[in-house]
Structure 1
Amino acid sequence: MKFYFKTIVLLLLIAVVIASLFIFPFMYIFSVVILVLLVTFLYDIFQTKHTILRNYPVLGHLRYLLEGIGPELHQYFVENDTEGTPIDRNHRAYIYERAKLQNETHPFGTELNVEKENYKWMQHSIYPAKKLEQPPRVIIGNSSCKQPYNASLFNISAMSFGALSKNAVMALNLGAKAGNFFHDTGEGGISEYHLKGGDLVFEIGTGYFGCRTEDGNFDPDKFKEKAAYPEVKMIEIKISQGAKPGHGGVLPAVKNNEEIAKIRGVKPHTTVLSPPGHKTFNNAKGLLQFVQQLRELSNYKPVGFKLSIGSKDEFVEICEEMLHTGIKPDFITVDGAEGGTGAAPIDFSNYVGMPWEKALVFVVDTLKHFDLKKDIKIITATKIFTAFDIFKALCIGADICNSARGMMLALGCIQALKCDTNKCPTGITTNQSNLMRGLVVNDKWKRVKNYHHETLNDFLELFAAAGCTQLNELNRKMIYKQVNDEILSYEEIYS
């Protein structure tokens, strides 16, 4: 009875409003509003899909509206500066300020809780060294390589065209060109937007996009053609990535247009799932043979592989096979479970793969155990945003750092978390022309270059503060962590 009483009252109200039109013509606009509410009310009470709308007609829509803008409300009005996720406000501000060449200082002291468990800091010297004029660079390429590459300490991590818009890819590549650092193509293949003059790392994923046969197998001839591009400086075999190891990449159908499909060699407007593993190998020996095959097809450019650590025994087996076959990659890229992605199942993002710090330590120490580290450079990526992140990674044992989300933020990403919907409001992870137009390439590439340059400049200041003049002086004694109310160096934690 209560429900019908409300309906009768509403109908009577509408009747009164309509009748009043004959007396007060200006009431027309109000009658339209009431009519819309009535139609909504009737639809809500008779539909069967949404319980909230059925029980709370009209008002229930407010709940869905608030839910839709919930991430924005949380990001701008709820989260504090240091605890937001996936990337907190302070880190985002750090990147924006350097990309825009704005104020890079911070007033009134740290906002971090320095007594908090796992708080990390670096050792400085009371006798700081003179700051270097230019950041050191690292040569990648062992004795099997005929075209070694002189790499920056900080580069663009793997992000595919398709996952990113063409404007974003062009801006990243032009930034890499201007700043003299490399741009990893991601597993989506090489597009014309990658060929703006920046150095490239050609990533080969499990789908072999850009170098695949019609049935999805590896095509040596197509690879050889792409690897010969002068922009391609290194080749990276993607075994797995931290955000979804053992799963393979996902390109939603809504983002797979004709242009992207042609570059990848797939059907347009279909969801493209990269296989979880490679077809060309299924064991350690096969992986190393594939490394050698790509090395020969690329005329001996540096070749390496990227992985997220799962089974430690499998990586140990790869090292043992390196000694047995004599085939050593020129580099290994270590990704952590905290790595980012445009689209992944939530369980894979949350619960699969070894966290970055422990993964990097394990890979470095295992290579040293087998006396392989001297021949293999370590590239690492996973939440590398600041100069301290780079300093810490190099102290742990990495040679080079990459960043994906940091470079996206430099482009103007606002962490809207809509990468997989094709509705990115900043035009970075969408192919909708009305959204892409907001990303002006001629402006954004400068921000990528600025972020790279200013972050490495910050690194040189930390480097000098530590009293260092050579990269080989960095070690685990220089990084400390708060563990169970004790102060321990990384050398003590990871002896």
Structure 2
Amino acid sequence: MLVPAIVAVLLTLVGLRDLWQPLHSIQRNYPIIGHIRWFAELVRPELRQYLIEADEEAAPFSRAQRSLVYQRAKGLAGEHPFGTLLDVYRRGYEFIGHSTCPVPAADPETFRIKIGGEQCSKPYSASVFNISAMSFGSLSANAIRALNKGAKLGNFSHDTGEGSISPYHREHGGDIVWEVASGYFGCRDAEGRFDPDKFRIQAAAEQVRMIEIKLSQGAKPGHGGILPAAKVTQEIAETRGVPMGQDCISPPRHSAFSTPLELMAFITQLRTLSGGKPVGFKLCIGHPWEFMAIVKAMLASGVYPDFIVVDGAEGGTGAAPVEFSDHIGVPMREGLLFVHNVLTGAGIRDRIRLGAAGRIVSAFDIASVLAIGADWANAARGFMFALGCVQSLSCNTNRCPTGVATQDAVRQRAIDVPDKAERVRLFHANTLRALSDMLAAAGIAHPSDVGPHHLVRRVSATEVKQFSQLHTFLEPGVLLDGRCEDGFYNRNWELARAEAF
């Protein structure tokens, strides 16, 4: 009798509290049972993901996409029984045309490109599929270890993100693309300005293969960031070169340059300080005339970046304001096509390599960006899935259930580095194997041969069009000699000035 009595007393106290508390109207009108609503909200994401969500419903990645990564990361067979589950007659469905005379599948080890132009003395042979920018601080130490070891095992690159090069990036010696952002973490002075001497020391490491200047991030373009003082651990402070006990500020814009011409001078400076390694920049396209201004600065100065990575507004982050992630920035495909066209129209596309990042997980995703101008693709969340991420949408809480996006030492113990590094390697290898098989069926021997005429999109219930029919592709040099007939490109080219963004 004692237990029911205790339960009755506790429920009575909860009910009385509910009746008198001023914050929640439902609990005032429905004491005790009103708590069911809060419990349902608490478990809603899990119930939706595991019981209700359709296989192709993206939020932001579908169950089918996640399952594909898990299978390839574990080396499991990827056969599809009983035919496709996709509605091939829905608007937006995409496919690649196959050839009547397929070619033998190429060795994915040959799917590499040279990055580094005439002004670069240490070019890099990069895979066509690499790990996109994710910082130590956003990801756990074990996640960084596993990603970098997987990159080492699979011979592809690992972008550091703007949080600089941590000790965990260095442990296994995988190729690094060092991202230098507006906070200049790892190469800053006491006032947060760029420090050439610190940069030179870091960039001299053999493991650092390329330098990437971050102009903007797809998930929150034009927005800086703050890592609260409470989250600045001793490790993060040492890695980023910031003091303990203070907020770690990432400004929304660079202090080392303020015009396109100054950006070109900064590229030259970093290339010199790094000993001739490839230097480029990453951005999410915003105002079109601003990117065109950068291209005009290239032409005026004679300085060309070795590469450009186009990030899409669909890109991910641990946390971003809703309006920024939902309504600011150009989606990756439109941004990539625009950059490809401007470089082509300015007659300099052959000088600069293009990478693309934004919701890429499959071989078809890679082919679709290659078809509209990319030379290679980067993925962030795809490799997080390979580590075991379950898309719990708790990246900003420090309570990631799989230990990927947390600094909690107990939670990150869930990541067994050797096992997860092998899964990272397998995901990369099996994705490129799938790409090789798919391209072979289309009669294509190498990713560099993929063109917009190879891919097709359904535009209505009764019509499909090749990408070459859907999109505008400028001819080389038309922006320079006045032959461009596209009003959008002409108007924005006229607005662009090398002297100002």
CA offset digits 1:75-117 (Å, max 9, x no partner):
1111100013100010000000000111211111111111111
Higher relative contact order (CA 8 A, sep 6+): 2
Give secondary structure in 2 for the equivalent of 1:161.
coil
Q: Distance in 1 between matches of 2:195 and 2:232?
A: 22
1:481 Cα deviation from its structure 2 partner: 0.9
Rate the CA distance shift 1:470–1:426 in 2: closer, same or farther, 3 A: closer
TM-score by length of 2: 0.91
Instruction: Confirm or deny that 1:163 pairs with 2:143.
Output: no
Note the 1:271-350 alignment, pairs <5 A: 271-350=247-326
Q: Secondary structure at the match of 1:442?
A: helix
* 2: CA distance, partners of 1:472 / 1:309: 24
1:154-179 alpha-carbon deviations (Å, 9 max, x no partner): 10000000000000000000000000
| Residue identity matched to 2:44 | G
Deviations 1:301-338 (A, max 9, x none): 00000000011111111111101100000000001111
Structure 2 residue identity aligned to 1:467: G
Q: How much does 1:35 deviate?
A: 2.1
How far apart, in 2, do the equivalents of 1:54 and 1:210 lie? 53
In 2, Cα distance between equivalents of 1:114 and 1:206: 44
Cα distance in structure 1, aligned partners of 2:224 and 2:118: 32
Say which of 96, 112, 130 aligns to 2:86: 112
> Could you give the per-residue CA deviations for residues 340-392 of structure 1, whole angstroms, max 9, x where no partner exists?
11110000000001111111111111111111111100011101100111111
Q: Which structure 1 segments of 5+ residues have no match?
A: 1-26
* Structure-2 residue corresponding to 1:132: 106
- Could you tell me which residue of structure 1 aligns to residue 33 of structure 2? 59
Match of 1:38 among 12, 25, 31: 12
Output the CA distance in 2 between the equivalents of 1:254 and 1:152.
Answer: 38
Q: Paired residue for 1:103?
A: 77
Amino acid aligned to 1:306:
K
Question: Helix, strand or coil for the counterpart of 1:452?
Answer: helix
Gap regions ≥5 residues in structure 2: 473-501
Following superposition, the deviation at residue 261 of structure 1 comes to: 2.2
Give the residue type in structure 2 aligned to 1:110: T
Residue 250 of structure 1 deviates from its aligned partner by: 4.5
Residue 209 of structure 1 aligns with which residue?
185
Contact 1:250 1:344 in 2 (8 A): no
CA contact (8 A) 2:162 2:181 kept: yes
Alpha carbons 2:182, 2:255 under 8 Å: kept? yes
Partner of 2:45: 71
The alpha-carbon deviation at position 68 of structure 1 amounts to 1.2
- The residue number in structure 2 matching 1:487 is 464
Root mean square deviation of aligned Cα: 1.3
Structure 1 segments of 4+ aligned residues over 3 angstroms from their partners: 249-255, 267-273
Aligned residues between the structures = 469
38-47 or 102-111: bigger deviation: 38-47
8 Å CA contact 1:427–1:437 kept in 2: the answer is yes
For normalisation by structure 1, the TM-score amounts to 0.92
Aligned 1:334-413 pairs, distance under 5 A: 334-413=310-389
8 Å CA contact retained: 1:135, 1:460? no
Query: What CA distance in whole angstroms lies between the structure 2 residues aligned with 1:71 and 1:261?
Result: 34
Give 1:248 shift.
2.3
Tell me what 1:9 maps to. none
2:397 and 2:4 map into 1 onto residues whose CA distance is 37
CA contact (8 A) 1:240 1:307 kept: yes
Select 2:149's aligned residue among 169, 174, 180.
174
